Amino acid sequence: MSLRHTALDALHRSLGATMTDFAGWDMPLRYGSEREEHLAVRNRAGLFDLSHMGEITVSGPQAGAMLDHALVGFISALGVLRARYTMICREDGGILDDLIVYRTAEDEYMVVANASNAQVVLDALTERAEGFDAVVRDDRDAYALIAVQGPEANGILASVTDADLPGLKYYALLPATVAGRQVWLARTGYTGEDGFEVFCAPADAEHLWQALTEAGTGAGLVPCGLSCRDTLRLEAGMPLYGHELSTDLTPFDAGLGRVVRFDKTTNDGAFVGRKALEQAAAEAESNPPRKLVGLVSEGKRVPRAEYDVVDADGTVIGRITSGTPSPTLGRPIAIAYLDAAHAEPGTAVAVDVRGKHEPVEVVALPFYKRAR
């Protein structure tokens, strides 16, 4: 199968990006040093092409009620121009994907799915819309998505838009004009920094990328690839589908039970997966099997996804879901599912790094929190 290309593909190549296959998309992995890109986002600003994310529009008089039925969140309770992190689960409670839902109008929502799950989410929403007065539209090709992230993001964006940025709260969005182009401007980052996402027409993507690049040059903005996006989100303790989240786990297993809203008032409180999730909630309360924790390594070797976590006797007590050298902490960090008995912060455990047990310490997530 041939790879899909974003509207910014030619630009990435002109910038000398190292490209990688990500969920069927040919995406920039890094432009130069991924470490420098990471630190640019922490200290200044970074520019990301996220056009591989999957946008799905749900509209109609019962759009909110339909999403309350299809997703675990209380979507119809969301204010217009607000956003929410939520999940779509199977009947058995397994996570199909984690999502951000933006309410773009009284009777319209934009659901943003991970690239790898966009088709699955589209199919599930289409099926679950049956019987509701709501229309599910595949808008994957209607949008390109550019993110500006970092402490300088606000100033950079302010120089190319008249939009009310101080009035744009975290997890909110606005219709706005940026560098002369009509966009949806959202404040929903995935890096642990302040930042913005610009949903635009693919035909406008290059113009906007260039305008933001020029606006950010003095502030030290650099183009950033998926490699540093992953290390940034890992430091911020944010889950990634396929690593921390999967169909084998419920939101409660992932420590994200708060996204499941049993208090919905639409559809008599019924939603796909409710029964299984009620069970999962009770089990997480009384007898949690494993917990999602952070690990910080004392050495230099990196605990990576799929590596076993072991106790002093070498007994396997968990498994790494994501691991990386942390540019901000200067040490390797990892996220792992760990038996509840060992999950207390401060506990000394070890990771089996290709046969050698490297000592690590259990810590609370996230590893990094920006000063506000």
Residues that bind other proteins (CB under 8 A): 18, 30, 33-35, 227, 231, 300-302, 304, 324-325, 332, 354
Q: In whole angstroms, give the CA distance from residue 72 to residue 204.
A: 34
Note the helical H segments in the chain: 9-14, 34-43, 63-70, 118-128, 153-158, 205-216, 226-235, 274-286
Q: CB of 339: closest distance to other proteins in angstroms?
A: 26
Q: CB of 91: closest distance to other proteins in angstroms?
A: 36
CA 221 to chain centre: 21
Q: CB of 31: closest distance to other proteins in angstroms?
A: 11
DSSP 43: H
Choose between 37 and 311: whose C-beta lies nearer to other proteins.
37
Neighbours of 45 (CB within 10 A): 28
Q: In whole angstroms, give the CA distance from residue 367 to residue 333.
A: 8
CA distances from 193 to 65, 210, 316 (A): 33, 22, 35
Choose between 258 and 354: whose C-beta lies nearer to other proteins.
354
Choose between 62 and 324: whose C-beta lies nearer to other proteins.
324
Q: CB of 269: closest distance to other proteins in angstroms?
A: 44
Q: Which tokens go with 78? A: 């969301």
Q: CB of 20: closest distance to other proteins in angstroms?
A: 9
Mapping DSSP to helix (H, G, I), strand (E, B) and coil, where does residue 364 land? coil
CA distances from 138 to 3, 118, 226, 369 (A): 19, 9, 24, 35
DSSP 3: P
Q: CB of 56: closest distance to other proteins in angstroms?
A: 30
Choose between 208 and 350: whose C-beta lies nearer to other proteins.
350
Q: In whole angstroms, give the CA distance from residue 220 to residue 316.
A: 45
User: HSE (CB half, 13 Å, CA atoms) of 354?
Assistant: 3
Choose between 34 and 244: whose C-beta lies nearer to other proteins.
34
**Paired strand residues for 30:** 18
Q: CB of 288: closest distance to other proteins in angstroms?
A: 32
Choose between 258 and 300: whose C-beta lies nearer to other proteins.
300
Q: CB of 33: closest distance to other proteins in angstroms?
A: 5
Q: In whole angstroms, give the CA distance from residue 162 to residue 178.
A: 8
**173-178 vs 181-186, strand pairing mode:** antiparallel
Choose between 25 and 132: whose C-beta lies nearer to other proteins.
25
